[in-house]
Structure 1
Amino acid sequence: MKATEAKLLEILRNVSQFIIPIYQRTYSWTEKECQQLWADLLRTGSTDAIGVHFIGSVVHIDEGLGNLAVQAPKLVIDGQQRLTTITLLLTALAEVLEALPEDQQEPIEGFAPAMIREYYLINRLQKGDKRFKLLLSDADRVTLMALVDPTAAAPPPEPSIRIQANHQFFLEQLRLPSTDLAMLCRGISKLLVVDVALARDQDNPQLIFESMNSTGRELSQADLIRNFVLMGQPPDLQEQLYTLHWRPMELLFGQEAYSGNEFSAFMRDFLTLQTGEVPLLNQVYDTFKAYARRPEIEQAGTESLLKDVHAVAKRYCRVVLGKEPDPDRHQAFFNLRELKVSVVNPLLLELYADHEASLLSHGEFLEALQLLESYVFRRAVCAIPSNSQQKTFATFSRSLRKENGHYLPSFKAHLLSLPSYRRFPSDAEFRREIQERNLYKFNKSCSYWLRRLENHQRKEPIAVANYTIEHILPQNPELSVPWRQALGENWKALQEEWLHRLGNLTLTGYNAELSDRPFLEKRNHEGGFAGSPLKLNQGLGQLESWGVEEIQARGAHLAERALAVWAAPELSEAQLAEYQTARTASPVSYSLADYPHLANPQVRALFNALDLGIRALDPNIYQEVLKYYIAYKCETNVVDIIPQAKQLKLVLNMPFAELDDPMNVALDVANIGTWGNGDVQIIVASHAEVPYAIGLIRQSLERQLDDATGSP
């Protein structure tokens, strides 16, 4: 490795060509970075007190150790964002100067348009790709070439968005009457970089690439993965892998999605699908490296790995980016996306792969998607914490039997077997909650659930986007006299209680016209309820009044429809018994009578007080009596109780270091043999100690519920 300081313009003049390798990311600087560069250039050019402006490094590979003074193409490892942006600025500058009168075309010496082009942008005597000083990777290459030299390249059908936008930004700034072109040129002439030349046979470009702290735009996790996969390959294999797999993925995602976080999100879902573990978004690259270095993956080779990534990417774009061609599947994926629960994506990708492999028929696949939609929406309506869903979906397929005829029944059985906070809400729970829930604040646009209620079993769906939400009983806190009379003396409290419930919400295309009118006027007005074509408004035209009883009745009616829209899995008792995974339990049944110390009245009273306090923490906590301890579980064990002669020993299922114990009553038993699950032990010997113990147990419960990757 050899590093030297150099003026950027001298480098551009002396180098025949910079080549951005195919494994590098696409150009990604936004207007924000261009604005900062523009301001820095004007500041630097405005005074002689600033001799240079450092903008980072240019790291490149040489076959032999050399520097940028050598007349040979340079393979850029780092610095392409700065090189590309300066090239765009110089291109725009040459264009603007050419439009000025001839005597104004050289603001300072050396910055005439012809000089800018010949010194810094093109190799005048060369043709084809060799004509250009900077050669970008496929996604951006032709767009930049067409801007630098329109006579040598035509704009592509789908130009690079960022290349075009930033070139236009510089044109607009340069054309402003207030822009001092001489000042700008002086600023450009002072740009300084560190030239870092790597020898391919001596330096490891990948390690250097990972460790560089560049002044440019931070690399995404997907950028790092692409470089990791392609950088170390021989040039011919690089080109093959990029052409067959990586470039098609870039095109599948599109410029905006690929350049943003979408591709990184996809890689996280790919890794979740392959490993069953959910990496953090900022750790996707490290997780991918560990996965790629597994013996079985390394043995299969890089091409096999990229082929797998490419196959999953195709499904991802269909599931997540709305590119599914089949109309039924497209609608099912859209319904799930509306719920904004991206943690389900790895499971959807696996189901799709199994559908393509004919393990699930078209109808079975659609039914599985509908059940997942029901599961997510019912849980949201029932206000069940969603933090366990990530692990639920990541490990879901482990419980499936994928052989012929068993896939969908085992899928349904697993949904029905999920316990506690992972549960599939029952019809009774969902029916009650959807009527009582504040559905307006639950989803202010109401576009999803009102659309699904309205279009259920419609062969010609209504475009709900053409309608707005309507409160039949108006939202106006100062209700008109007719509405107050309809509700009675307690009208204000009743309005607050029933306003946003299911029974009072509907759709209309005449929201402004109906406004706060009395019910009969809303019913009979042109476009009112009596003549509405919407299913949601059926029956309203026959009513003579609107109050609490009517809201309740309509809510109950719509709740029954909701049970059909978001249906629960249906299995016979025999099927459920065949597939359902029972909770782990001892083969021998035990009861509290098997604990002799509980026969002591004082110990039993203490146990009863603890039992009452623990169950009060959460309605999903249940008791399981085992041979050596009495377990209290939610997702898994929260606390285990071991009755002793005069006291109760409690073991909390959490690390000792995470416990907040201001009274210092807990003992760290991580390295001490004891019954129960966890590292925290406390002793409760009196009723006065029960409230404090309940507070410590609460921490174990909250940790469990807050752990998105808790035990399945």
Structure 2
Amino acid sequence: MNAFKSNIYKYLGGTCQYLIPLYQRTYSWEKEQCARLWSDIVNLHTTRREGHFVGSIVRIDEDSAAGSTLAMIIDGQQRLTTLTLLLVALRDYAAANEDCGVNPNKITDTLLLNQYETGSAKYKLLLTQSDRDALIKKIEGAPIPGSLKSRVLDNYAFFSGQIGKGEITPSDLYDAIGKLQIVDIVLDRQYDDPQAIFESLNSTGMDLKDSDLIRNHLLMGLDSATQTDVYNNIWRPTELLFDYEHQSELLDNFFRDYLTMKLGRIPRKNEVYNEFRTYHNNSGLPIRDLCQDIYSFAKHYSDVHFVRSDDAVLKSLYEDMKAIRMEVAYPFLLRVHDDCDKNLITIEELREIVRLCVSYVLRRAVCDIPTNSLNKTFATMKNDIRQDDYLRSVKAFFILLDSYKEFPNDERFIATFLTRDIYNMNRCRYILGRLENWDNKSVVSLENLTIEHIIPQNPHLSTDWMSALGSGWSEIQKRYLHTIGNLTLTAYNSEMSDSSFTEKLDMPGGFRESALRLNKYIVSQTTWGESQVNERAAQLGEVAKRTWPYPTLSDSELATYRKQDDSAPQYTLDSYDQINAFNKMLFEKLNLHIMNLGTFVRREFKKLYIAYKADTNFVDVVVQKARLRLAVNMKFADVIDPKGICKDITDVGRWGNGDVEVFLDSLDGLHDVMAIIEQAFRLQDAE
């Protein structure tokens, strides 16, 4: 490895062509980074400093041909590309303003082109294929197709705008750019490992995404011809499945869900790349086959995320998923869609499974069950699917969920649905829209509709409303105002406002003129009060049960999926030999604090200890004669223990789970012990 001090004009002024390899990420700097660079350049001029360091550029030189050198950029393409765009913008301004003091031809001939080369070899900087065309067109001054999207174009426009403002003269700008200092780092192929260097850049604060590192891992090791083939025919089509504006973020999310689906567990956000590398090494798949597998699942992922499907029913279900933000189900649904492709299930069964997933998430939201465990439920769900009895096994899985993972049955769902505040749920408009369009052959567009309270929200009701509601009008308004029976949709919310029920019925655009099925019961009434709200709520509840169905299986079908553990012994606190009045008192206090960590915490009395679980055990309590011994389920190196009360029991035989041991022998230590337990609990809650 050799390093040289240089400036941007010296760096671009030779005969070298700088090539961004296919495995590199696309050009990703946004306006914020460009604005910072512009500010640095202007400040460099105004303060009359001799130079400003903008970072290093790491390259590997290829064999020279015809006197020129081809350099592969390992790091620094963002800076190099941005400075090139600034020079193109300055050149174009100079070409249009001949007396500005800058020679546009000099910029083109010395900094943008190798003028004695032909074809693509003549360009000083050659980007990856997704950005290459945009940069070449700007350098050549060629027309830009309206369909071409690239940050190259966005940032060129930014610099053109800044130059046009006249904050700094073009000649001063040209001089200031020449003062930008870089460190030119040239790697030695014989001694330096480009892949290791590329990966290390991420650990030193460079903003590389997991998808950047994964692309590098897969493509860098291929020979040039295979690399080009895999990139053009598999990898680039995968990237193009995702939205241009948020491509890197969505790809990172996809890879985490892809690994979750493959591994049956959720990788930590900061471990996705390492987990992928391990998965690849263990899978034994050739890189081409793995990339093709990634493309197949990315197609399903992007179809769901962007609501794309030729199947009208699936497309409607994808819209539901987007409306209620159920990305947590993506890992499981990736597997189900792939199994449909493999003809393990029919398209009808795929629809029903997706519908059940929507129902599961929506019913839990209505019943206000904490969502903390949903991602883990869907992550492990594939492990309970029987390929020879696919749909029934999915239904059985949902039916047999209990405690904090429960799929609310009709009784619980409707009891809550009829009485809870639906209006202040962020899914309120979705709920009303689905009730309107359920089993409706002529789907109603909700675009211009807003939520209407039939009994108005104004606490100062008119005399007409007070009379209609009766002597307890204030309590009735408070109790039913935001419930489903009092909510509907209208395009005339502002017109209706606090009007009486009769006025809302008959005004222009009122309920009688509405074609909405939501208003069918309303227009049959002459007055509106408690009984009407309850009756309409009951009717909508029946529709809700069909809109978001509960899975059904006969007892005999379900029996084969029930765990046969009836013969297992049942334990209580009194089952432990060491239990006495003192440690029982300690346990009861500790138990109260642990159970208060969340409504989804479960406690199980085991033969040797008491287990507390969220998704799995986070602390196990062993009853000892004069104290309680706690096994905390986390790595000892990760525990924050300012009081020094924890003991490392890694690889030491103990009852319970985890590498951390702590004791509770008096109530004085309860607070400190809970501080340790909460860490393990939060780790299970972390995404």
Do they fold alike, i.e. is TM over 0.5?
yes
Which of 235, 259, 269 matches 1:281? 269
Deviations 1:547-591 (A, max 9, x none): 233222222221221111111100000000112345xx4844346
* Paired position in structure 2 for 1:436: 419
1:349-364 correspondence to structure 2 within 5 Å: 349-364=334-349
Shift of 1:270: 1.2
Q: Distance in 2 between matches of 1:136 and 1:340?
A: 36
State the distance in 2 between where 1:332 and 1:436 align. Answer: 26
> Paired residue for 2:30?
30
The match for 2:39 is 39
Q: Once structures 1 and 2 are overlaid, which stretch shifts more, 473-482 or 22-31?
A: 473-482
CA distance change for structure 1 residues 637 and 272 in 2, over 3 Å: closer, same or farther? closer
5 Å-filtered alignment, 1:599-678, equals 617=596, 627-628=607-608, 654=633
Equivalents in 2 of 1:398, 1:250: separation in Å? 29
Tell me which residue corresponds to 2:88.
91
Contact 2:209 2:252 in 1 (8 A): yes
Q: Which of 260, 266, 269 is the matching residue for 1:272?
A: 260
Residue pair 1:431, 1:559 contacting (<8 A) in 2 also? yes
Q: How far did residue 277 of structure 1 move?
A: 2.2
Change (3 A) 1:633 1:189: closer
Aligned equivalents of 2:395, 2:129: Cα separation in 1: 46
1:708 partner letter: D
Distance (whole Å) between structure 2 residues aligned to residue 189 and residue 668 of structure 1? 58
Relative distance call for 1:663 and 1:115 in structure 2 (3 A) is closer
Q: Distance in 2 between matches of 1:684 and 1:214?
A: 43
Contact 1:659-1:696 at 8 Å conserved across structures:
no
Answering whether residue 224 of structure 2 is matched by residue 244 of structure 1, we say no
User: Structure 1 CA distance, aligned partners of 2:56 and 2:158?
Assistant: 24
Match of 1:314 in 2: 299
| Structure 2 counterpart of 1:86, one-letter code | L
**2:486 matched residue in structure 1:** 504
- Taking structure 1 as the reference length, the TM-score comes to 0.86
Change (3 A) 1:45 1:613: closer
Kindly provide the CA deviation profile for residues 656-693 of structure 1, in whole angstroms up to 9, marking residues without a partner as x.
979999999999988886656676676789xxx6x997
**Paired residue type of 2:113:** I
Q: Please tell me the root mean square deviation across aligned C-alpha atoms, in Å.
A: 3.7
Shift of 1:515: 1.2
Alignment-derived partner of residue 391 in structure 1? 376
Counterpart position of 2:138: 147
Matched letter for residue 246 of structure 1: W
Is the contact between residue 634 and residue 680 of structure 2 (CA under 8 Å) also seen in structure 1? no
The answer on whether the counterparts of 1:19 and 1:73 sit within 8 Å (CA) in structure 2 is yes
Where do residues 277-676 of structure 1 align in structure 2 (5 Å cutoff)?
Answer: 277-294=265-282, 296-297=283-284, 300-403=285-388, 406-443=389-426, 446-581=428-563, 585=565, 587-590=567-570, 595=575, 617=596, 627-628=607-608, 654=633
Q: Within 2, Cα distance between the matches of 1:469 and 1:177? A: 50
Secondary structure (helix, strand or coil) at the match of 1:436 reads coil
Preserved CA contact (<8 Å) 2:376 2:615: no
Going from structure 1 to structure 2, the CA distance change for 1:179 and 1:112 (only over 3 Å counts) comes to same
Residue of structure 1 aligned with 2:73, choices 76, 98, 116 = 76
Structure 1 158/250 Cα, relative in aligned 2: closer, same or farther at 3 Å?
Answer: farther
Residue 685 of structure 2: aligned partner: 708
Structure 1: how far apart are the matches of 2:488 and 2:270? 42
Deviations 1:278-326 (A, max 9, x none): 12333322222222222x42xx322222121122111111122223232
User: What is the TM-score of this pair, normalised by structure 2?
Assistant: 0.89
Q: Distance in 2 between matches of 1:255 and 1:478?
A: 50
**Residue number in structure 2 paired with 1:56:** 55
Out of 137, 140, 149, the position equivalent to 2:128 is 137
Contact 2:501/2:528, CA 8 A, preserved across alignment: yes
Amino acid paired to 2:549 = A
CA, structure 1 residues 183+606, in 2 after alignment: closer, same or farther (shift >3 Å)? closer
Q: Residue 63 of structure 1 contacts residue 201 of structure 1 at CA under 8 Å; is this kept in 2?
A: no
In structure 2, how many angstroms separate the alpha carbons of the residues matched to 1:234 and 1:323? Answer: 36
User: Structure 1 residues 2, 514: CA separation in 2 closer, same or farther (over 3 Å shift)?
Assistant: same
Q: Residues 454 and 574 (structure 1 numbering): CA distance in 2 closer, same or farther, change over 3 Å?
A: same
Amino acid at match of 1:292: H
Displacement, 1:399? 0.7
Q: How many angstroms apart in 2 are the aligned matches of 1:39 and 1:137?
A: 28
1:178–1:197 CA distance, 2 compared to 1 (3 A): closer
**What does residue range 198-277 of structure 1 map to in structure 2 within 5 Å?**
198-212=187-201, 218-258=207-247, 260-277=248-265
Match in the other structure for 1:11 = 11
Q: Kindly provide the CA deviation profile for residues 227-280 of structure 1, in whole angstroms up to 9, marking residues without a partner as x.
A: 22112222112111111211111222242232x401111111111111122123
Q: Give 1:164's match in structure 2, choosing from 153, 158, 161.
A: 153
Following superposition, the deviation at residue 654 of structure 1 comes to 4.7
Deviation larger for 360-369 or 603-612: 603-612
Distance 1:211 1:699, change over 3 A: closer
Counterparts of 1:664 and 1:247 in 2: how far apart (Å)? 52
Q: Which residue of 1 aligns with 2:174?
A: 185
Distance 1:3 1:634, change over 3 A: closer
Which string of whole-angstrom CA distances, capped at 9 and with x for unpartnered residues, describes residues 120-150 of structure 1?
1123333321222111111111111111113
Q: Which runs of 5+ in 2 are unaligned?
A: none
CA distance, structure 2, for counterparts of residue 237 and residue 211 of structure 1: 25
State how many pairs are aligned: 684
Distance 1:332 1:666, change over 3 A: same
2: CA distance, partners of 1:12 / 1:57 = 14
SS at match of 2:451: strand
Closer/same/farther in 2, CA of residues 579 and 649 from structure 1, 3 Å limit: same
Q: What amino acid sits opposite 1:55 in the alignment?
A: V
Counterpart code for 1:176: K
* AA in 1 matched with 2:59: H
Distance in 1, matches of 2:614 and 2:77, equals 53
1:388-414 Cα deviation digits (max 9, x unpaired)? 1111111101011002xx100011001
